[in-house]
Structure formats: structure tokens, C-alpha cells
Chain A
């Protein structure tokens, strides 16, 4: 039997009442909105932002641009070496971070951790590392190992370890239990199961994440120099402080080129991983 569609709109049948258009917002929502509004107002009033500075901005920016052209190439060889150092900081830091992130992920994932407590502990350690911004890590390492690239390498290592460790752990937890069960059923030990079934299955995502980490690290390593952790950032900081804007522009262009190249490489590798 066919259903008569018109019946539902028929006046004789009582039509159901539509829900109210608005609902009264709950107390916590009102509270959050109030706090956000208060912070914004306080920010404008309390910190004394002067709108007239915005009016001066175009002139000052023009001043910067006119002084930065043409880019100064006299120190280009030195700057090139500093750029190379930044690249190496990013590369070494990323490799160390990835190497450490694999055991960290195995300890953090629920299905591979030797004990629940270990998983919780490892995950909290990774969260702590991630929650502290990398510039802060750099400041700490500059104190503990002194100015220079070592502080940068350690910072990048922590950064990659924290990011990739959590990412790998999530990937490991998603792995289908079937092949794992198959190896367990042969009487294989815990390590053999992890490295025979779990790690190979997670490997493509591991490689992809490593490339993404490298991309992120190169950008990160540039900034680390600003607090003295080695590389091109140191040069950039000095150029700005001495108002040598023409040198600064050279550095900015170099950074742009290197970051773009690494991004291209990373994208290329990751696309091949997905399609192959």
C-alpha cells in the first residue's frame, strides 16, 4: 500500500508542535561568554593600546622596505653557512626525535604498553613536553648547554619526540587486532609481535609523520636562533637590532627558499607513500 504523503499536512490531523526557536543559554555558557568579553575589554583598556600607532605603521613599514632594498649580498656566504646550520639543527633534531618517539609511542599506546601505569605516565610526559612552547625549551637548553646549535638540536628533539610520539601512539592503537592475534597464536613473544606486526603496519604513517616533522622543524629551527640556539635566527636577530634591514631581507628570502624546498620534498615523499 502506498503512503499518502499529503496526509501529514492535512488540517484535520493535529500537526506536531515545532520545537522552540531558541533555548535559554545554560549558566556555564553565560559565564564563559562573560569572562571572554571581560578579557577583551580589559585587554583594550588595561594594556593601553594606542590607536595612533596604527596610523604611523604604513610610514614605518615603508621605511623598513626602502632600507631593505636592495638586499645586501656582501655577507651572503656567511649567511649561507648559518642557514646550513639551521637546516642541520632541524635534520639532526628531527632524526633524534623520531628515533626516541618510537619507543615512547610503544610505551604510551594502550595495546603495546607493558603496564597501564606506564602508558599513563608516558602519555603525561609527552603532554608536558608538548605543552611547553619550543621557545621556552630553547631558553632552558641555552642555560643548560650554552648558546649555540646544541641547544637548538635538543629543543627540536623534544619538539619532535612530543609530537610524533603521541601521533605514533594513536596510530598503534588503531591497528587492527587480527594480525597481532595471528602472531600471538603462533606462540610468538611480545617483542616479536610488536616488531613483526605492529611496527611494519604503522611504518608508512611513521615515514609520513617524520617528513612532516622535518618540515615543522625547519621553520622551528629558524626561530630558535632568536633566543641564541644557533643557526640563521641569530643572524636575523642581530640584523634587526643593528637595523641592517638589507641584510635582514637577504636572510628572510633565504629562509623562504629553504622552507619551500623542504615543504616540496616532504609533500613529494608523503604523496608517494600514499599512492604507493
Chain B
């Protein structure tokens, strides 16, 4: 389903965040990407649908060469890929229902579908069903910025559901949440992925969470994959290498914070 060869990303400031990554994920497989902050795992996830433009290497997703895709093809790929963000990234100031309705914009971008009040009845009904599935339908009329972190990430999952993706890329989905809300969101995410038979790549930085949810684990350090295996057979000692002090020739790795993002404009 997902396949990268020699994927490399160098940020404009010279930081080498990804070095020759070859990652292959089969359809329906769930992979946990584990690594410390700044290891390059978020960059990897972003490069898969070119939310961040890779420097070199190729990405194939669902049989499409993403790196060579033109704008229309790229949008078609992105429609099939649901993304969960560490910073949740709901649009504040608008209703929860509007946020969910917007998950459908890749399929139907007509002006009336931009926000819930004007959206078609079919889309509104589907949005409500998605909210119901993540058990926050009662919050539909609230403004997104009035919700707690856990509720917000649930709404983000509903936005992902309405998109009907084949692939889910989750970037530290619970890093911004308290432990309990984090558990609930992780349970929900895994439940959705299993029930709908989706392919999942989920980055995490906590080993305990990875052990609790993951089977296949890919360990990333300094932009390289250094571990790829079954979590059941990997010992804590082996995984400790992911967090060892970094000795890179480029100096300390820089975490791709939000301010680093868009090189390309809104597209």
C-alpha cells in the first residue's frame, strides 16, 4: 500500500531530517513509527502525501507514484489518506459539525460544502453519523475551540471518517492529550482502523504506548530506520537505542515544529 525508496528530506536550513528511508507497508497493516523528538518520523509522515516536499527518493501509495503526481493526482491520493495531527488542527471559530463536514471537501469541494450551515443534507447526515461513531454527536453545535483536547481529537477522527480513507497517517495523535484522554483516543483510532480494515502508520515517542497498541514497529533515529520488526520479539534494550544520545555530523537534529511547515503554498 505504501512504499518509499531512498526517501530523503533536507530542510532549507540544511538539517537532514530523512536519510534514504525505504519503508514498505502492506494493505491493512498497522505500523508504529517510534523515535525520539526530532528523529524524523513526523517528516517521514508528511512526505508520504507531500504535505512536505521530499528532497529526493520516491513514494508510491496505493499504486500511484506520489512523488511524480501532478496536482490533480496528488489531490486524488490525499483523498484516500486520512491524517491525524499531534496539534489536532481543527478550525477554531467554527462549529464542530462544520469541521467534520470539511473532511469531505476532497470529494466535493463545491462552495456550499465549505461549511455546515449550507452543506447538503446528505453530507450533514454523514457528518452526524461520524460524530456519533466517535461518541461526540452531542457536541455538534459547539464551537471547536470550546472543546477539551480529547473531544477535539475525537472530532478530528470524525473528520477523518467522513473522508472514507484507505490509509490513516497519525502523527503523535495523543501527545497533546492527558494520559486518560490519550488512551481513549488511541482505543478509538485502533478500533476504527481494525473495523474498517485501514492501513495505518502511527508515530509515537512513548515506548509504553507503542507496546500497548503496535505489532510491527519501525524505529527511526537521525532520519534513518534502524529497527523494523515485531514488537513482541523486540526487547526494551534493543529499543533503547532509539533514545540514545545522538551523535550526528550535522549537529543536533531539529524537531520539525509547526513553524517549519509549508514550503509550498496552499494547494
Which A residues are closer than 8 A to B by beta carbons?
A: 110-113, 176-198, 200-201, 203-204
Contact = CB atoms under 8 A, between A and B. Distances in A.
B51 A192 contact: no
B262 interface: yes
A185 B90 CA distance: 12
A195 B114 contact: yes
21 contacts: A111-B262, A179-B91, A181-B85, A181-B261, A184-B78, A185-B49, A186-B79, A186-B82, A186-B83, A186-B106, A187-B77, A187-B105, A190-B266, A191-B111, A192-B102, A192-B113, A195-B111, A196-B114, A200-B91, A200-B94, A200-B115
Contact of B102 (A183, A194, A203): A183
B51 A183 contact: no
Given A195-B114, A200-B91, A184 B85 contact: no
B262 A188 contact: no
A188 B163 CA distance: 11
A177 B262 contact: yes
Given A112-B266, A197-B91, A189 B109 contact: yes
Interface of B: 49, 51, 75-79, 81-83, 85, 87-94, 98, 102-107, 109, 111, 113-115, 156, 159, 163, 258, 261-262, 265-267
A181 B93 contact: no
- 8 nearest CB pairs, A to B: A187-B106, A188-B105, A187-B79, A187-B78, A182-B89, A178-B89, A185-B83, A192-B109
A196 B115 contact: yes
A200 to B, nearest CB: 5
B78 A186 contact: yes
A116 to B, nearest CB: 9
Contacts of B79: 186-187
Contacts of B115: 195-196, 200
Contact of A190 (B51, B82, B93, B267): B267
Contacts of A113: 265
Main secondary structure of the interface of A (DSSP, over half): helix
Nearest to B103: A186
Contacts of A181: 51, 85, 89, 261-262
B178 to A, nearest CB: 20
Given A185-B81, A190-B266, A192-B114, A179 B258 contact: no
A112 to B, nearest CB: 6
Contacts of A177: 258, 261-262
B99 to A, nearest CB: 9
A200 B79 CA distance: 23
Contacts of A187: 75-79, 105-107
B258 A176 contact: yes
Nearest to A197: B91
B93 A200 contact: yes
Contacts of B78: 184-187
A271 to B, nearest CB: 18
A180 B93 CA distance: 14
